[in-house]
Amino acid sequence: MDITDLQSRLAALEHLLPSQREWLERLLFQLAFNEIHYVEAVGPAGSGKTTLALALAELCSERFNIALISKSVSATELSQQLMQQWFSVPVQAELSWLEQVKGKLNDKPLLLLLDQALTDSDTLNKLILPLPCLTFNFCNSTVSAHGLTLFLNPAGIADAEVLLQSEQLNSLEISRRITYGAGNLHLLLNPISSTATVSDTTKATRTLKPLYALTFTAFALALTYLLWPKSDDQSQVKIEVATDNNALSATPPNAHKPAAQPDDSLIENSQLNSTVEASGNTLSADTNNETVPSVATAQTLTTVAMQAATSNDADETENSAAIATEVVQITDQRASVALQEEPLYDEAALLAMDKQQYALQLAVLSNDAALKRFNVRYPQLSPKVYQRNWQGELQLVLLLAPYTDATAAKNQLSSLPTDLRQAGPFVKQMQSIQAEISAKARSQHYASD
C-alpha cells in the first residue's frame, strides 16, 4: 500500500501524544510492506483507543469509504449499521450478506473501525473477515488470531509532560502520576485522590509511633540517670578553693573548649576542687584558716561551662543546617546538569530547532556499527542523528532536518536513493523528536540516581 499521503496527513495532526504518533507510524510502516486486511489494536482501559480510532478515520477519510462502530452491538445491528454507513441502504433479506456488500462496491475501498464494539470471535469470523475491507479492531484483549496485532504504547514521560504541561509539575510529581495512572490516561490527568493520601499518611504515622515512644523512653531514662541525687556515701566532694581572685577569673576560658568534649571541662573543674570536704551545709577551712568560698562559687563555674557548651551546640547546629542546605543545592544542580550534558550525537542541534518545523526520518538503527555502514553506503546524505529509548532499548534515529513545513520535507523524498526511498521514510514533526530526546535524557538521569 502506498502510504505517502497518509504520512503527510499524519504529520499535520497536532493533537496526538508522542506515543500515539509513534504507534500510528508503526502501523503505516506495516501497511506499506505487508498485505494486511485485519489489524487488532490491543490496550487497557484509558490507553487512548478511541483517540487513535478517530485519528485513523481522519487520516483515511479521503482515500477510503469508512464505517465507524463505537459501541457493542449484536450481529444483526452490526450488519444494518455497516450497510447504512457504507452505502446508505438497508439490509436486503433475500440476498446474502457478502453478496450485498460486493454488489455495492465502488472505486473507494472499504474501511471498518471497531472501537470496542466487537469482542465475539464467531461474529468477527462470519461477518467481518470475509468482507473485502480493511478492518481495525480496537479492543481491551485479543479477539482473533488472524491478521496483525499491535499493542498500544503505555503513556511515558514525554506523554505526561505534554498532558500535565499546564500544571507545571516537577519530575518527581510527574513520575508519581505515571505510576499512579498505570497506563490509564484518565488517572494520569486526575490528581492522586485524597483518600489514598490520607491512607498513606495514616500508615506512616502508625509506623512512626513505636519509634517515637522508644526514643522518648530512652531520653527519659538518660535524663533521670543524670538528675538522680547522689547517695550519702558519694555526697562528699573534694574542692580545691582558689585563694586568688585571679585564679577564679582564669577559670571561665576553660569553658570555651569545643562542645564535642563537655565531659573534659567538667573533669578539669572537678580536679581543681581536690582538698576541702563539704559535709551537709558546713564547710571546713584548711590549716591556714583561709576563708572558703561558698558552694555557689562551684555552681557558678559549672553554670558557665554549661552555657559555653550550649553556645557551642547552637553554633554546631547552625553549621549543620548550612551544610544540609548546601547539599540540597548541590543535588538540585546535579539534576539540572544531568539534563544539560553534552549529547553524543546531534541532540543539541535538534533541540535548538523550532518545534513547529519538520524532519524526514530515514531509518532507525540499533548501534554505531550500523550507523557507520549507513554513512558509507549513503555518503551524500549526512543525516542528523539522535538517540532515543524505545521499549527499554536504545535506538539511533536518522533524519534530514529542518524543513519549514511537511510539504517541503515530503518533496525531499524524490531526491533519496531508490532503495532508501522504498524502505518508507516519512515526515516527522520536530516537536515529537524533541520530546523523545528529553524523555531519554530524563530516563538516564533517573537511572544514574
- 387: CATH: 3.30.70.1070
> What pLDDT does residue 181 have?
76
The verdict on residue 86 lying in a domain is: yes
Residues 333 and 372 placed together within one structural domain of the fold: no
The yes-or-no verdict on residue 164 having pLDDT over 90 is: no
Rg (CA), the chain: 40
Residues 31 and 139 placed together within one structural domain of the fold: yes
Residues 118 and 179 placed together within one structural domain of the fold: no
What is d(CA 124, CA 117) in angstroms, rounded to the nearest whole number?
11
Identity at 205, one-letter amino acid code? T
The yes-or-no verdict on residue 156 having pLDDT over 90 is: no
What is the pLDDT of the chain when averaged over all its residues? 75
Residues 358 and 282 placed together within one structural domain of the fold: no
For the residues 287-295, what does the mean pLDDT come to? Answer: 39
Residues 36 and 132 placed together within one structural domain of the fold: yes
Side by side, the strands of the sheet bearing 276-279 are: 238-239, 276-279, 282-283
Supply angle C-alpha 280, 284, 290, rounded to 5. Answer: 145
Q: Domain boundary residue among 108, 137, 153?
A: 153
What is d(CA 106, CA 123) in angstroms, rounded to the nearest whole number?
25
Q: What share of the chain has pLDDT > 70, as a percent?
A: 69
Residues 87 and 132 placed together within one structural domain of the fold: yes
- Paired with 403 in beta bridges are 358
- Paired with 148 in beta bridges are 39
Q: If you average pLDDT over each of 189-203, 294-308, 428-442, which comes out highest?
A: 428-442
Helix or strand run (H / E) with residue 386: strand 384-390
Residues 141 and 246 placed together within one structural domain of the fold: no
The verdict on residue 210 lying in a domain is: no
By mean pLDDT, which of 54-68, 174-188, 221-235, 291-305 is the weakest? Answer: 291-305
Query: Which tops the pLDDT comparison, 222 or 192?
Result: 222
The yes-or-no verdict on residue 187 having pLDDT over 60 is: yes
The yes-or-no verdict on residue 159 having pLDDT over 50 is: yes
For the residues 418-434, what does the mean pLDDT come to? Answer: 86
Residues 13 and 116 placed together within one structural domain of the fold: yes
The yes-or-no verdict on residue 72 having pLDDT over 70 is: yes
Residues 6+ apart with CB under 8 A from 448: 338
The yes-or-no verdict on residue 268 having pLDDT over 60 is: no
For the residues 398-418, what does the mean pLDDT come to? Answer: 90
How far, CA to CA in Å, does 424 sit from each of 25, 79, 242, 415? 10, 36, 100, 14
For the residues 30-57, what does the mean pLDDT come to? Answer: 92
DSSP string, 56-90: HHHHHTTTSEEEEE-S---HHHHHHHHHHHHHS-P
Say how many domains are in the chain: 4
> What pLDDT does residue 372 have?
92
> What pLDDT does residue 162 have?
82
Helix or strand run (H / E) with residue 309: helix 295-339
Residues 11 and 148 placed together within one structural domain of the fold: yes
Q: Domain boundary residue among 303, 320, 338?
A: 338
The verdict on residue 252 lying in a domain is: yes
The yes-or-no verdict on residue 61 having pLDDT over 50 is: yes
Tens digit of pLDDT for each residue in 206-247? Answer: 556 677 777 878 878 887 877 776 554 444 444 444 444 444
Query: Which tops the pLDDT comparison, 173 or 59?
Result: 59
Residues 313 and 391 placed together within one structural domain of the fold: no
400 pLDDT band (50/70/90 cuts)? very high
CATH code for the domain of 23: 3.40.50.300
Using DSSP bridges, classify how beta strands 148-151 and 38-42 pair: parallel, antiparallel or unpaired. parallel
The yes-or-no verdict on residue 60 having pLDDT over 50 is: yes
CB atoms within 10 A of CB 101: 21
What is d(CA 140, CA 133) in angstroms, rounded to the nearest whole number?
22
Residues 9 and 149 placed together within one structural domain of the fold: yes
283 secondary structure, DSSP code = E
Residues 9 and 148 placed together within one structural domain of the fold: yes
What is d(CA 253, CA 89) in angstroms, rounded to the nearest whole number?
107
Domain extent at residue 92? 4-153
Residue with cell 534515529: 397
